Homo-oligomer: A and B are copies of this chain.
């Protein structure tokens, strides 16, 4: 129970979360066993359960860390408008270099459409926040005349988020035939009256 002990415990917990995220990305949450995750860290599955009392608690920790990383990357949230859309494009560029994140997100999102999945509420909230965030930006752009006339900000926001998700699945399945970032830019160019950058 020394300070060193606490530190070691925290590091070990982080290692377990990292291993779990990798496993979920490859095999989904249901498809990943505690024994498999524990083996990646070099402990027994009972040892893992010393740090996380249940399988669900480990999933919750993975999702929490993902949120924390996202929040960190967004830094001090950009004001609604072009900057937010650029941020999403930058996120896509980041994801292309880190396919594991896309894998994790895509696998979990599809599992979590089931109402009784432990990550279901997480993704409900995730989608709602993402839509609201993008909606405010499209509304700001509309006010500035930077949105093509006749484009409904709500429809633009909803389809923009959906496009990101759909592109990711298709990109993971056939990486050579899908330009993730280019497709996003293409879509935004059809909606805006100004260049993205």
A31 to B190, CA, bound (A): 40
List A residues 59-117 near B (Cβ within 8 Å).
103, 106-107, 109-114
**A158:B170 contact, CB within 8 angstroms:** yes
Other-chain residue from B110, B156, B158 in contact with A107 (beta carbon distance below 8 A): B110
Other-chain residue from B27, B28, B131, B163 in contact with A177 (beta carbon distance below 8 A): B131
Interface majority SS on A: helix, strand, loop or mixed? helix
**A190:B151 contact, CB within 8 angstroms:** yes
Other-chain residue from B26, B177, B183 in contact with A114 (beta carbon distance below 8 A): B26
Copies in the complex: 2
**A169:B30 contact, CB within 8 angstroms:** no
List A residues 117-141 near B (Cβ within 8 Å).
120, 123-124, 127-128, 131
17 inter-chain pairs at a CB distance below 8 angstroms, sorted by A residue, are A26-B114, A27-B114, A30-B31, A109-B110, A109-B173, A110-B110, A112-B173, A113-B169, A124-B173, A155-B182, A158-B179, A159-B186, A161-B166, A162-B167, A162-B178, A163-B163, A163-B166
